[in-house]
Structure formats: C-alpha cells, structure tokens
Amino acid sequence: MLTYSVVITSYLRSDLVKLTLESILDQDRKPLEIIIVDNNVKESESDLLRDLVAKTKKDVCQIKIIKTPKNSAAVARYMGACSSIGDLILFMDNDVVIEKNYSSQLIKDFELNEEVIGSQGVDSRRITAQINRKKSSIFKKVFIKIIEFLEISEVIGSKTSKVSPSICLFHPDVTKEFEVYSQWISLCASFYRRSAFEYSNFPQNFVTYSNSEYIYFSYDLYKQKAGKLIYTSKAKYTNIDTEEGRLPTIPLTYQLEVNDYFIFLKLFPKSIKNILIFTKSRVGRFLYNFFKAAFNSSFSLKLIYHSFGASLYPLVHFNKIKRGDLSFYEKDFT
C-alpha cells in the first residue's frame, strides 16, 4: 500500500491553515506526515503558524514546520518534498480544503497504473464558475470567447487538457464527469510520485507567489515522458476565495510576463507557429491589462502605465530570462 506525505506551503493566511489541516486529518486514507513549509517574511506570521500547529491534535500523524530561506513558493515546495518520506507527495496550498475521499480516490490512480506520476482533482469553485458562465449574457460570452481566442490565461471546455505555447491552460468541461491524461496539473491539491523529481523540479528562480511553477514542472514531466498525469472529476477540492497572501496587481502583472517568457523559452520549440501563438497571447495580455485599467471603476493612470511596462519588461531583460537569470525581478519587486 502506497503511503503519502502532505506538503503545505504557507504564506500569510494562518487563519485558513486550520481549515486545510482539518480537511487533511479527516481523510479516509490518512497521511504519513504533514510538512508545513513556512514561507512567511514576518516573524509575527511565523509565530501565528507555530501556535496553530501547537494547538492541532497530532494523533493522526506527525505535523512539522520547516522554514524557507526566502519567500518563494517554488523553493518551499521543493524543500518540503526533500523533507518528506512518503511514496507519494500531496502538495497543497494553505487556502485549500479537500473532500474526505480526495486522497483515496487519487491514490487509486497510482496503485492501478505504475505509469501514473501525478494526479489531481477538480476545484469545486471552477465547476460553479463554469455553470454560471453558461448562464451569462451573450455580451459576456462573446467577451470570454475573445479572451480564449487570444489565449491570455485559460480555455474552458476543451477536448484536451494541454499547455499551449502561449502558456495558456486548456481545461475539459468540468461540469461533466471526466478523467483525462493531461499535459499539466496544478499544485493546489495534487499528488506526485517521489520519482518525479528525478526528471524535473520547480524553478528555483521563481520568487514570492511563484506563479506558474506548476506549469513548468508538470509540462516538463509530460515532455520528458516521465509518466502519465491525470486530471479527474472523481476527487474535488475547494480553493477558498481570499486576497490575503496573493501578490498586488502591479508585481503580479510583471511576474506573469517574466515567468511565461521563461517557460516558453525553456520548454517550447521556437517554431514560427509557436512564436506567433506566444506573441498573440502577449498582445492579448497587454490589451486585457490596458482596458481593465482604463475602464476600472477606480480609474488609475498608474495601472495604465504599468500595462505598458509589464509588456516591455521581459523584452528589456530577454537575454537574462533566456539564461535563466530572473534575479532582476527579485531585485525590482521584493
């Protein structure tokens, strides 16, 4: 029988960690251990986290905290993986709760098929969002179709679960039951075999909120044919809606651009088709950011300025990104 360790990266949101822990400890298939990786910058936040763990019952499994040298979710996840001892590792964010049978449902994938290297369920909030989207106005549906055509972030209701050269993620129709082999899985609540780290790792040069490290890691595994990745509706989790612990708009906008360039340059062939797809998505991202800033109820020239700045930023640092040196972003925004 396969055992599993849980690795939770924790930055702020200490009040939500309690809910995350409760959902893990309530699993019908218990973990071997829970490792909370303290990614906090302020000691006061670390104290809150330690107090919470001290008050949590440990009759199900051991719960321990380790501290990261800097605020980086990618670094934190890898530290947690290196400290774990289970056959499988369940990576979780500290604002996620999983249903009681989440672990047992997904571990079956690994036990039934040795080729499976990663598996994740579906976010219940995503299901609700897609149901509401189907009920939305024609104007909103047209707007969403434009966004999807430009491949700014994600495409919903696809026949395949893939990563485009735009670094846009394609999802199946989550309102229906599904189980697909995917080119990617997220790190909100996903299982991986330990052997995955023999092939790839989370980019250790991604800092702070570390957007898109899950895309790099899982798509790199897919490209190397390290094993099969499963995305399924048979297990569900809920990503709690909170702004705490997330990046402010301006550094987030710049980070998304830098990380997307990094992933494209590292993992995708530089064919004319791929370059055109990626360029289309960059133009689309700029237009989206610009119009969002221009027509926001709280109009801000600063945000309009940064919609231009974020688009140009990776071009200015293109050679550094190509070399894998993202220290310029860390210097400018942390």
Give the pLDDT confidence of 20-55 residue by residue, as tens digits: 999 999 999 999 999 999 888 788 888 888 888 887
246 pLDDT above the threshold of 90: no
pLDDT-derived band at 245, boundaries 50, 70, 90: low
Contact 80, 218 (CB under 8 A): no
Half-sphere exposure of 326 (CA within 13 A, CB side): 24
Structure-token match 């055509």, residue found: 149
List pLDDT tens digits, range 6-21: 999 987 877 788 899 9
Structure tokens belonging to residue 29: 């298939």
Closest CA to 232 of 176, 194, 167: 176
d(CA 212, CA 50): 28
Share of the chain above pLDDT 90, in %: 70
- The amino acid sitting at 257 is E
Contact 193, 114 (CB under 8 A): no
Domain 4-127+153-239 class?
Answer: alpha beta
List pLDDT tens digits, range 286-307: 999 998 888 877 777 888 899 9
**The pTM of the whole model exceeds 0.85:** yes
- The amino acid sitting at 16 is L
Q: What is the mean pLDDT of the chain?
A: 92
How crowded is residue 145: how many other Cβ atoms within 10 Å of its Cβ? 11
- The amino acid sitting at 17 is V
